[in-house]
Amino acid sequence: MNQVMANQAVEIIVETSRCRHVVSILSRESVLAVDCEGIALGVEGPMTLLQICTNSGDVYLFDVQENRELFSEGHLKIVLESNEILKVIHACPYDSAALYHQFGVTLQNVFDTQVADTVLEEHNGRLLVSSLDLQGLCQKYSSSKKVSDYKEQLKIQYSKKDGEFWAKRSLTDEMKSVAEGDVRALIPEVFEKQKRIILNSGLQEKFRERVSEIIKYYIDDEVRKHRYKRRFIIVNQIIDSINEKRDTRTVCSDFPEDSDEYEALKRIDYREACIKSPFIDRLKTESILYLIINFLEMKKGTKLNGFHFRYFPVSFTIQIKRYQNWQKMSNKSSKMLFYKKLMTNTLLKLL
């Protein structure tokens, strides 16, 4: 465990009376870091734990799986809906969805660090910005490491082996380390640095609008449709530019992974890519294959130089090798079937 974490207070809150007392302490703060854990957390995926960190580094883990009344009778709802306390959260849509649909809590006065990074990158000329995980965010905006050393190890465990990981009780030391690290990482350094750049760049209004949008993403259908339409237009503009300006001998790997072109190829629906042109159709297929290979590299911890099929299971290899016959598939339904089989086999191998 990181030494900085070991030297600061961490408390697990289960009792309603203790929760009310802690909320009275938290209500004196102007800024809090907040995060949630759960089982496929979202509209229906149950929230099991809520973490809050103060600016001084004290962390409270609210066990809402054991006591759902912590939000109402314990007054947690008051803190989360307060316009006087700023809540710093990294990528809050799923947290917001779970809080709203499961506990009737509507987040107010939020500083979303993922949204902040997106707005800042767009200000620097990017059209499509890929999401940063918490580790990447800290590397970009912080000089110290506060994310738990256990985070990547446990992420693999609960995403691949045990989907109900965050429902386990009692909380292990590793689980507590990850939970507290996820909030301690956000304040004060990451938050203060992003806030300063946003203010200096005059991006406050745009940032507020985007945060409001992301909070409501799984709450308001109209907001979700508006956000989807905006992204759809941008993706298609970039794809059309590739189609018009790039040589048809271009391959997906010609685009840097941090480029708008690569991001657009990842995001365009494969059915729309088929309609655009055979060139875009091929690039989309390549982007899927590269994503698969990159994921397997990460999973196996070894670098695959190109398409080295010997690293893949036989049934999976057959599906990838069929890519070589892609241009011979003139029938659109055949291409759709290929995509479905490819992605199905991929998911089966990665689950």
Confidence of residue 3 (pLDDT cuts 50, 70, 90): very low
Q: What local confidence, expressed as pLDDT, does residue 285 receive?
A: 84
Confirm if 110 and 92 have CB atoms less than 8 A apart: yes
Rounded to 10 deg, the angle between the 278-300 and 260-267 helix axes is 90
Q: What local confidence, expressed as pLDDT, does residue 151 receive?
A: 73
What CA–CA distances, in Å, run from 171 to 38, 57, 60, 178, 187? 13, 20, 13, 11, 24
Q: What local confidence, expressed as pLDDT, does residue 341 receive?
A: 57
Interval 148-156 mean pLDDT: 67
Q: Each residue of 92-132: pLDDT tens digit?
A: 999 999 999 999 999 999 999 999 999 999 999 999 999 99
pTM of the model as a whole = 0.83
Of residues 336 and 204, which shows the higher confidence score? 204
Q: What local confidence, expressed as pLDDT, does residue 9 receive?
A: 79
Q: What local confidence, expressed as pLDDT, does residue 134 receive?
A: 93
| Short-list 42, 51, 163, 31, CA closest to 95 | 42
Q: Each residue of 281-338: pLDDT tens digit?
A: 989 988 887 777 666 665 555 444 443 333 344 444 444 444 444 444 455 555 555 5
Q: Each residue of 171-192: pLDDT tens digit?
A: 999 999 999 999 999 999 999 9
Rounded to 10 deg, the angle between the 93-103 and 204-215 helix axes is 50
